[in-house]
Structure 1
Amino acid sequence: MVRIAISGTHSQGKSTFVRDFLNKYPHYIFENEPYRAIMHQHEIFFGDQQKIEHIELQLNHCLSRVKKYKAGDCVIFDRPPSDYIPYSDYSAVNAQSDINKAYIDSLFPRITPILAHLDLIVFVPMCEDYPMCLEDDGHRPIDDFYRIWVDEAFKKLYREDLDRLLPKENAPRVVEITGPRELRVALLKQAIQQAILS
């Protein structure tokens, strides 16, 4: 009875994590990563080519899906709305983009209230003990600098900026999970139980 979102930089095994969880708990509804959900209707670029329009397409889809669910629903999202803040940070700093600090600041009041529709955000950080290889599937960026930079931005968001990010009421719990596949699912089960009890 928990609304979950798996968060973090790309090529960290998040989608595999979600599949492993669904194999064990098939009664959960699955909400695909926004990019994958809309990629056949829209051309979306990442990294140095990313513009506001590319963030907006994914974010608006994500916001609309998250706010559809109510307390007590069993759903797992491959990415919450908050993921588009670190990716915007990257383009603002590293790319010739229309994404800038003012745009990033404008994301918080749009994203924060919608996070109240989640019970649990699971952040999957990069970890030296459990490295993930970049995978070229024809869609995901394969620039390791990009992946590492965005991971650091995620770590700042979830470790330093939660007061700014989370709503004052009905805020989701934020947990970090790393480890081999079986352990990730077991740790998520524990986090769900804690979220239910809190």
Structure 2
Amino acid sequence: MRIVVSGTHASGKSTLLSDFALRHPGFTVLPDPFDLLDETWDAPRATMFASQLRLAADRLDSGENPGDMIAERGPLDFLAYLVALGETTGSPASPALLERSAEITAAALEHVDLLVVLPLTTADPIEVGEEDPELRAAMNDALLELVDDPDLVGTHLRVAELVGSPEERLARLEALVSVHGAPPTPS
């Protein structure tokens, strides 16, 4: 089973992945593409998000990572960041960049079985500190719109929005995996 966990920054992705990985050692865990870049984070830029989108897409190829895997972020995250960056700065990415990014995203998501989206909710807030709260909210909104676009997510991809406490999110993810893929490892 191939899973991508998506959400804006400080939405609980890392917690969910690490909790899941502890209970499912047979899954390969792919870290946030940001952690794999050599760039430093000085300010959000379209080129940085485009680089992360490409990296996130490339690693979803089943030839690159065969077998069960769970990835922190997929190309859809970075397409949402590109849209949100334009909304928050008033300087949108070029139409050509957005179009090419959407094509890459759609092609990559063909290699994914389950897209888990962690939306921001007022019921389960996660404190963000100084990590650009305006961009965080705009990316969340863009991501939630993009997951409804059948041209991006296709017809085979199962999409699940998970809310609640970390324990509730993990339980729901495990239920989705046991129904649609590999059974959970007994604890």
TM-score, normalization by structure 1: 0.82
Q: 1:129 aligns with which of 123, 138, 153?
A: 123
Alignment length, in residue pairs? 180
Q: In the alignment, what sits opposite 1:66?
A: 60
Matches within 5 A, 1:16-165: 16-38=15-37, 41-47=38-44, 50-51=45-46, 53-67=47-61, 68-70=64-66, 73-95=67-89, 97=91, 99-135=93-129, 142-158=131-147, 160-161=148-149, 163-165=150-152
Q: Is the 8 A contact 1:45 1:54 kept in 2?
A: no
* Post-superposition offset of 1:90: 1.4
* Post-superposition offset of 1:62: 1.3
Q: Percent identity?
A: 25
SS at match of 2:22: helix
CA change 1:181–1:5 in 2 (3 A) is same
Q: In the alignment, what sits opposite 1:196?
A: 181
Structure 2, gaps ≥5 residues long: 183-187
**1:120-139 superposed Cα distances (whole Å, 9 cap, x missing partner):** 11000011111111146xxx
* Post-superposition offset of 1:42: 2.5
CA change 1:177–1:46 in 2 (3 A) is farther
Q: In the alignment, what sits opposite 2:167?
A: 182
SS at match of 1:189: helix
TM-score, normalization by structure 2: 0.87
* Post-superposition offset of 1:111: 1.4
Q: Is the 8 A contact 1:69 1:117 kept in 2?
A: no
CA change 1:75–1:66 in 2 (3 A) is same
* Post-superposition offset of 1:44: 4.6
Find runs of 4+ consecutive structure 1 residues off by over 4 angstroms.
none
Structure 1, gaps ≥5 residues long: 137-141
Name the Cα RMSD after superposition: 2.0
Query: 1:115 is aligned with what amino acid?
Result: L
SS at match of 1:134: coil
Aligned partners of 2:165, 2:43: CA distance in 1, in Å? 28
* Post-superposition offset of 1:98: 6.6
CA change 1:195–1:65 in 2 (3 A) is same
Query: 1:69 is aligned with what amino acid?
Result: N
